[in-house]
Amino acid sequence: MAAIGIVGSAGRMGQALAAAIDEAGETRAGGADRGDDVGALAGKADALVDFSTPGALADTLDACVKAGIPLLIGTTGLSADNHAAIDAAARTIPVLQTGNTSLGVTMLAALVEQAAARLGDDWDIEIVEMHHRMKVDAPSGTAILLGEAAARGRGIDLAAHTESGRDCHTGARATGAIGFAALRGGTVAGEHSVILAGEQERITISHSAENRAIFARGAVKGAKWLIGQPAGRYTMNDLLGL
């Protein structure tokens, strides 16, 4: 049985994760929220799972490195500095970072990578997502993950080909661009569609999250899998052997 600590335990995902830990028969090592000592939590856990905010990440990584325990990072909206800090910590401990812990989105990303690899750049790729009104970051971590999968398939750099936040007179779409559009409203748990738009035909591949339990269950699986892995940076693909 694994003792899993929750960073951001009072939040929507923190609560869903607590339920998933119980459902899986694992142990809750406790939680850390704003102002709490994450080091104390790391000291009594086998692994931490973080669904909080990018500003909390540096302390959480430090705490896990000091305690020598793995960390699963589900928080999205991460900066380049956050990613550099993850890379540094992953030299000492196992770290799994993903914009989406669900099995369905991991499969969707694999399909998108394959489609992008086989279709030429005359097929325009657009990623559309919708989330609840409380979500603070855009595009979603999942949309970015799907964009990275498409870019990998195409053999291009995502940052250099991103078109997002289109407004006013944008000019025509750049050939080979990967476009992002974000909608916010209501209580939507997470909707993502990847549209491949060619000449007179279109492919749309979608994923709908019906609730947060799917993310929480995937995070518990990920945390358990991380315990016992060597130091390194992992994704859900590693966990699922994709």
Ligand X SMILES: NC(=O)C1=CN([C@@H]2O[C@H](COP(=O)(O)OP(=O)(O)OC[C@H]3O[C@@H](n4cnc5c(N)ncnc54)[C@H](OP(=O)(O)O)[C@@H]3O)[C@@H](O)[C@H]2O)C=CC1
Residues near ligand LZUJQKHR, by CB under 6 A: 76, 99-100, 131, 135, 140-142, 190
Residues linked to residue 127 through DSSP beta bridges, in sequence order: 180, 194
Establish if 99 lies at the interface with ligand X (CB under 6 A).
yes
Q: Which helix (H) or strand (E) holds 126?
A: strand 124-131
The residue to which tokens 């607590």 are assigned: 18
Q: Which does 106 bind (CB under 5 to 8 A by kind): ligand X, ligand LZUJQKHR, none?
A: none
Asked, as a colleague might, if the bond just before 94 is cis with ω within 30 of 0, I would say no
Q: Collapse the DSSP code of 159 into the 3-class scheme (helix H, G, I; strand E, B; otherwise coil) and give the result.
A: helix
Q: Which does 234 bind (CB under 5 to 8 A by kind): ligand X, ligand LZUJQKHR, none?
A: none
221 belongs to the catalytic site: no
Minimum CB separation of residue 21 from ligand X in Å reads: 15
192 belongs to the catalytic site: no
Q: Which does 131 bind (CB under 5 to 8 A by kind): ligand X, ligand LZUJQKHR, none?
A: ligand LZUJQKHR
Tell me 54's DSSP state: G
188 or 227: CB nearest ligand LZUJQKHR:
188
| CA pair distance 82, 40, nearest whole angstrom | 22
| CA pair distance 196, 180, nearest whole angstrom | 12
Which residue ranges are tagged as binding site? Answer: 8-13, 26, 28, 74-76, 98-101, 132, 141-142
